[in-house]
Amino acid sequence: MNGAGQALLEARGITKIYPGVVALDGVDFQVNAGEVHCLAGENGAGKSTLIEILGGSYPKDGGTIRVAGREVEFSSPRHAQEMGIAVLHQELPVLPHLSVAENIFLSRQPLRGGRLVSYVEMNRQARRWLEVIRADVDPRALLGDLPISRQQLVSIAKALSLEARVIIFDEPSAVLATAELRRLFEIINSLKAEGRGIVYISHRLEEIFEIGDRVTVLRNGKRVGTEQIANIDRGTLIKMLVGREIDESQIGGGAGPAERPEPVLEVRGLARKGVLQDIHFTLNRGEILGVYGLVGAGRTELARALIGADRVDAGEILLEGRRLKITSPREAIRSGLCLSPEDRKTQGVFLEKTVQDNICLPSLKSLKSGLFVSYLKIARYAADFVSKLRIVTPSLRQHVKYLSGGNQQKVVLAKWLGMKLKVFIFDEPTRGIDVGAKEEIRGLIRGLAREGKSVIMISSEIPEILGISDRVAVMHEGRIEAILPRREATREKLMAYSMGAKGA
Amino acid sequence: MKLKTNQILGDYGLFLVLLLLVIVSAILSPLFFSYINLANLLTQASFTGLLALGMTFVILMGGIDLSVGSVVGFSSILYASILHGAFFTFMPKEIFIYQGAPKLTPILPLPLDILFVLAVGAVIGLASGFLSYRFRIHSFIITLCVMIFTRGLAISYTRGQPLFGVPDPVSFLAYGMPAKIPMPTIIWLGASLLSLLFLRYTRFGRGIYAVGGGEEAARLSGIQPAWYRISPYVASGFFSALVGIMMSGRMGCGDPKIGQGWELDAIAAVVIGGTSLSGGKGSVGGTVVGVLIMGLIINIMNLLAIEAYPQQMAKGIIIIAALALHSALSKRRSR
């Protein structure tokens, strides 16, 4: 069925202009029945803008959209939905206080007597759509009580219930772990077999090659090209994406373990009821310890416990042989530990604050002159990091929300670099940022290790983990199943341990 | 099994608090279960209850309405002035000094005068909602301004004087006792029941929850937020005006100064009832219980003959205690 179907959705010459920026410049994009059309591009390339326009969220400034051959002008997301286009947004905008069924049928609830919402009927229909994708989800459960992977399934069920002919997935893998992604791919393949058109957006090349039939690459708001996946290789695609060549094999190459390991952080028997059990590990000076696991394995919980953001029920943490009593992030920072959190936008940076405010916040104490904070010192201090880390921003006073994901992540890093810390914990530092910036972030992390800092690096991307870590800890259901030195760590072992298969 | 107990405590914790207060009240005062006291308690609760009902719509949608007390004052004086056969604005001061029963020649016949005042209340709400939506200003600010303006309007209307002589048909709304149940209570509970059904069983009602839970998510689900954002204020203004009319009937006069601070009682009742101030979560049923809890607290202190000023202190503390208990119970559940 590959790519042979008729055109379900045809966009020609789509242009979108924001004040001062041309977000999309005459982009053509077509989705056929029974194909998976990948959309790739660095952040800021215009992918999101394009799907918002195709999904009816934003009006376009130029070009035409045809659905099944007929020209349409979308007036709202609802209009696009009625025309059979459904968008599954990356940061699933869901209503956590409403039930699964209501999230599926919001504003289209089945009525009885023509007026009143029939919950019985709504739950029945919701269950039917969930069964289609074999999702084991109770339609009556509150959506907010479900893990994000299940929420994704609910969104797919919703798209099906809309009888969508074209389903647009906006970076689903950013929130799913490997096993869940497998499930998603199965579902996508069955949707494809039914003759629906799928648009799949991802930063991960391997996914594009696995699931895609065609790929369209955007760069700086322009279409670089559309290719059959079968006709291109990774190198070509990377070149299309970044406009220059990046040697992917360079992902490897950590600082290498020191001659004589010198323990910096020792964790003994750390436990938190229901999420972490009996965690033991040692982190050496200049070492990068990768932490891999499926979503829900307890990786983020471990990071939060280490810096005192969550209480622990048992266990001890030793820093350079001294026992730490960490009960708050403030104390952790004082002792020399910091965390770059998974949810960058809400926990890593202050979106509404400027670049310099974000960078200087933890170091304000040392940026005073006399009693008061010195803005001169702040500006110098921030400017120093902006140039050192090559943060791309028009000014130090730019609000962080206008920066790309990669640059936001660098701001998080800069925040901690000036603090003379010993242990850096990174929770998914490269999630949702583009290929070029990912490698830059990894480079910065490797640089830290080379300077003798110790790093814990949590990631869901196996190549990244294998590439950067000196050792890899694999978590499963709140435990560390295994800690593997780099030369013993393989993709298969990581997958096996992360799914709880011992002695793989 | 343990988990189940916790869940029950979380879901029905509010009722347990109410039950606890009833038991304590009954023990503390033998008068508590007398018909007169209960009727009095329910009547008092009904006025707060109607304001809290409108407030529930607004808070569920993610806003707040500080103007309700002022709207009560304005509709009270507006209604009385219609009965007096004139819109009195800016008339010489002497007219308002009470000189025996006035001759009533209302401008509008009976049901129309009430409907007119209700419509004015709704329009004030519409203005709050529209301004907040159109100019993207937080409803706290907008309704604070509307509160100040409306109170000023009410007071300038008669230069601060009350207007006496509100006749019987209206006092029935305030004092009537069909089937020995206070009329205000019937109105309150009836309106609450209708609102509960509306919020639970209509698409529009579900839309209010959705917009309160996340406007962008609701928009992407095909809801156009404008009217969902504005209409809760209309409901709130409407119920405030209803309370204003009933208060006129109850006092036998229109009083521009009545209702000061009532918005806070209404907000407190809604929050005690478990509705989240950030929107999207809560229920009318919870608000009804919250209103009763507030009413009980005041009632029992009255029965114990505690003076008015210490009552305020006690009220503040007891509200916090009730919220803390409720929060502790629901936290255990979410564990």
Indicate the pLDDT class of residue A250, thresholds 50, 70 and 90.
very low
Q: How far does B199 lie from chain A, in Å, by closest CA?
A: 10
Q: How many domains does chain B have?
A: 1
Q: Mean pLDDT score of chain B, rounded to an integer?
A: 85
Q: Which residue of chain A is at minimal alpha-carbon distance from B212?
A: A95
pLDDT at B158: 81
- Residues in chain B with CB shorter than 8 Å from the CB of A57 are 219-220
Q: Cβ separation of A107 and B214 shorter than 8 Å?
A: no
Neighbouring CB atoms inside 10 A of B307's CB total 8
Q: Cβ separation of A93 and B224 shorter than 8 Å?
A: no
Report yes or no on B183 lying in a domain: yes
- In this structure, the strands spanning A116-117 and A7-18 are unpaired
Q: How far does B83 lie from chain A, in Å, by closest CA?
A: 39
Q: Cβ separation of B220 and A89 shorter than 8 Å?
A: yes
- Residues in chain B with CB shorter than 8 Å from the CB of A311 are none
Give yes or no for residue B114 having a pLDDT over 70: yes
| Closest C-alpha among B27, B2, B105, B57 to residue B233 | B57
Q: How far does B141 lie from chain A, in Å, by closest CA?
A: 21
pLDDT at B334: 43
Indicate the pLDDT class of residue B327, thresholds 50, 70 and 90.
confident
Give the whole-angstrom CA distance, residue A359 versus residue A415: 4
Of B203, B216, B224, the CB nearest to A109: B203
Share of chain A above pLDDT 70, in %: 92
Lowest mean pLDDT segment, chosen from A108-122, A463-477, B92-106, B164-178: B92-106
Share of chain B above pLDDT 70, in %: 87
pTM for the model stands at 0.75
Span B95-102, average pLDDT: 50
Candidate ranges A81-95, A356-370, A415-429, B120-134; pick with highest mean pLDDT: B120-134
3-state helix, strand, coil in chain A (%, to 5): 35, 25, 35
DSSP assignments along A344-382, one per residue: IIIII--TTSBHHHHHHGGGGGGGEETTEE-HHHHHHHH
Q: How far does A98 lie from chain B, in Å, by closest CA?
A: 8
Report yes or no on B62 lying in a domain: yes
Span A74-89, average pLDDT: 88
Coil, helix or strand at residue B181: coil
| Closest C-alpha among A76, A346, A94 to residue B216 | A94
Q: Cβ separation of B222 and A111 shorter than 8 Å?
A: no
Provide the number of CB pairs (under 8 Å) joining chain A to chain B: 75
Tokens representing A415? Answer: 């925040």
- Residues in chain B with CB shorter than 8 Å from the CB of A87 are 220
Whether the complex's predicted ipTM surpasses the cut of 0.85: no
Give the whole-angstrom CA distance, residue A499 versus residue B16: 44
Best of A48, A52, A106 to mutate (most B CBs within 10 Å, chain B) = A106
Span A387-411, average pLDDT: 87
Tokens representing A494? Answer: 């990581």
- What's the burial of A387, exposed, middle or buried (CB within 10 Å: 0-12/13-18/19+)? exposed
Q: Cβ separation of B217 and A108 shorter than 8 Å?
A: no
Domain range holding B117? 2-91+102-333
Residue B54 sits at φ, ψ, to 5 deg, of: -60, -40
Instruction: Check which CATH number belongs to the domain holding B121 and give it.
Output: 1.10.3470
Q: What is the pLDDT of residues B192-238, one digit of tens each?
A: 999 999 999 999 999 999 999 888 888 888 788 899 999 999 999 99
Give yes or no for residue B26 having a pLDDT over 50: yes
Give the whole-angstrom CA distance, residue B83 versus residue B166: 7
Residues of A with a Cβ under 8 Å from any B Cβ are 55, 57, 76-78, 81, 87, 89, 93-98, 102-103, 106-109, 111, 115-117
Give the whole-angstrom CA distance, residue B168 versus residue B252: 9
Q: Cβ separation of B220 and A95 shorter than 8 Å?
A: no
Report yes or no on B97 lying in a domain: no
Coil, helix or strand at residue A248: helix
Tokens representing A185? Answer: 């791919």
pLDDT at B50: 97
Q: Cβ separation of B221 and A106 shorter than 8 Å?
A: yes
pLDDT at A113: 83
Report yes or no on B96 lying in a domain: no
Q: Cβ separation of A77 and B200 shorter than 8 Å?
A: no
